[in-house]
Every structure is written in C-alpha cells, then in structure tokens.
Amino acid sequence: MRKRQLLLLFACNLIFFTNGNALMGLLPVYLARLGADSAVTGYFFSLAFLAVAVGTVLAGWLSDRFQRRKLLLLIGGAVSVPMLWLMGQAADIAQLTLFTALNWLAAGIFVTSVNILGNYSGRDER
C-alpha cells in the first residue's frame, strides 16, 4: 500500500476521532437544553454506544461477506455527514437520539472499514 493511501486512511480516522470527541462534550449540554435529565442522558449515550458497537460488527460482517471494503467506507462517510447536520436541527430528544444513533452507527462502519483497509498494508508500512 502506498504511503499516500496510508496518509488518507489516517486523515479519515482523525476526522472521525475529532468529531466523536467534540460531540462527547457538547451532547450533554444539548440534551440539557432540550430538557433531558441525567437518566435520559445516560440512556441516550447507552444507545449511542450500542449503535457504534452494532456498526463495528456490521462492518466486519459486510466486509467479509461482500468484499467491498472501499464502498463501505464511502457509505459510512456519506451517511454520517447528513446525520451530523440533522443532529444540529433536532427539535426534541427523540429526534436527537435517532439521528445520533444513525450517525454513530455510520461512524462505527466507517472507522472499522478504515481499520480493515489499514490491515492490508504490509508489516513494514504500518
């Protein structure tokens, strides 16, 4: 695998890592503005992390079954961008929960696809 491809995979991973870390600090504030208490916030994050776990497992299964790893990468990124925008437009907790779960499901697919593609590089390139 060429170094340029590895650099692009690193950039993809960095973008989603930064996105996830930025959201982790802002989502509790957003939830409080929508009227959520601490229990609802806990349920919200439980569902969000469940979506990441499902996305990770789903990406591995789809990658093994269909062998279209770059397509999974593109789908994960393409779904995540509008879901992130819709999260900012959410008017209530239910909408925010749905859009966040879909965004984090796509993020799980995306990050797992990046890691799978990175495993195809040679040992001396990693």
d(CA 21, CA 62): 26
Q: Is 60 exposed, middle or buried (0-12, 13-18, 19+ CB in 10 A)?
A: middle
pLDDT band at 116 (very low <50, low <70, confident <90, very high): confident
pLDDT digits (tens, 9 = 90+) for 42-85: 999 999 999 999 999 998 888 888 887 788 888 888 888 899 89
The dihedral formed by the CA atoms of 52, 57, 61 and 62, expressed in degrees to the nearest 10: 0
Q: Is residue 102 scored above 80 in pLDDT?
A: yes
Radius of gyration of the chain (CA): 16
Percent of the chain scored above 90 by pLDDT?
Answer: 42
d(CA 48, CA 68): 26
pLDDT digits (tens, 9 = 90+) for 82-99: 998 999 899 999 999 999
d(CA 101, CA 61): 19
